[in-house]
Amino acid sequence: MTDSKRQQPISYSNDTPSRQQLLYSAQQWANIDTVLLDMDGTLLDLHFDNYFWLQYMPSKYAEQNGLHKDAAHKILKQASDETQGTLNWYCLDYWSNRLNMPVAELKHHVVEKIQYRPYVKDFLGMIKQQGKRAVIVTNAHRDSVDIKMTKTGLDQRVDRIISSHDYQEPKESQEFWRHLQNDEPFNINKTLLIDDSQAVLRSAATYGFKHLLTIFHPDSQKEPNTQSEHPGIHHFNELFHKDNLIG
């Protein structure tokens, strides 16, 4: 999709399930045969990741290096800003080396914060019942994916999980989608991508995806944000209009 065809930013502040029906009528929904789903902030509550990186890690880094927590927070923020949008930003090995901390192991300490987002189990059940293919496409490192699958059993509810680390390209890169198309063939006219990242949706739109949805409320502990270049939903029940209900 070219820039000129891209949708202008729209605020869906008055979004309701009835409005969402206009985005996907029964006929349009029936035309979708594959749903590509982001993991963190889409299927799982982004609160875990925000808590881990913005609270737990700074406090552990401060403890390890004899720093005040504010100073540790500043160092981690700067390191994060330097790498954002690259595969390293998502790579636990990179952070373990750079910070000299066992990041994957530390995640296990706060594993109770890993939670499904609302209505996700019902939504994935509906997709399965309708015979659509459900594939997780995540920028998360495989170690992080494993921790989350062990805690939630999410892997039992989808057909396949692809980490961008498998291709050594983040979803923000066009190369990621080319790898995906070869590895997991999909009809771009019948494939819906749901992702809470505007940068990822922009990358997917550039590649040529026609059906894109964002998540307005990725972190349950923060206020929703409805400013988006793409249509979106607060929760998956907004895709459950009467024609889509299970049973």
Interface residues with Mg ion (CB under 5 A)?
A: 38, 40-41, 196
Distance of closest approach, residue 114 Cβ to Mg ion, in angstroms: 14
* Residue showing the smallest CB distance to Mg ion in the complex: 41
Nearer to Mg ion, 40 or 219 (CB): 40
Shortest Å distance, C-beta 140 to Mg ion: 8
Q: 7-29 burial, b if ≥16 CB within 10 A, otherwise e? A: eeeeebeebeeeebbebbeeeeb
Nearest distance in Å: CB 109, Mg ion: 22
The rounded distance, in Å, linking the Cα atoms of 141 and 125 is 26
Of 41 and 231, which CB lies nearer to Mg ion in the complex structure? Answer: 41
CB of 138 to Mg ion, least distance (A): 7
Contact predicate 217/226, CB 8 Å? no
To the nearest whole angstrom, how small is the minimum distance from the Cβ of residue 131 to Mg ion? 26
| Smallest separation (angstroms) from Mg ion to the CB of 197 | 5
Nearer of residues 40 and 169 to Mg ion, judged by Cβ: 40
Q: Which is nearer to Mg ion, 15 or 196 (CB)?
A: 196
Nearer residue to Mg ion within complex by CB, 72 or 213: 213
Shorter beta-carbon distance to Mg ion: residue 45 or 238: 45
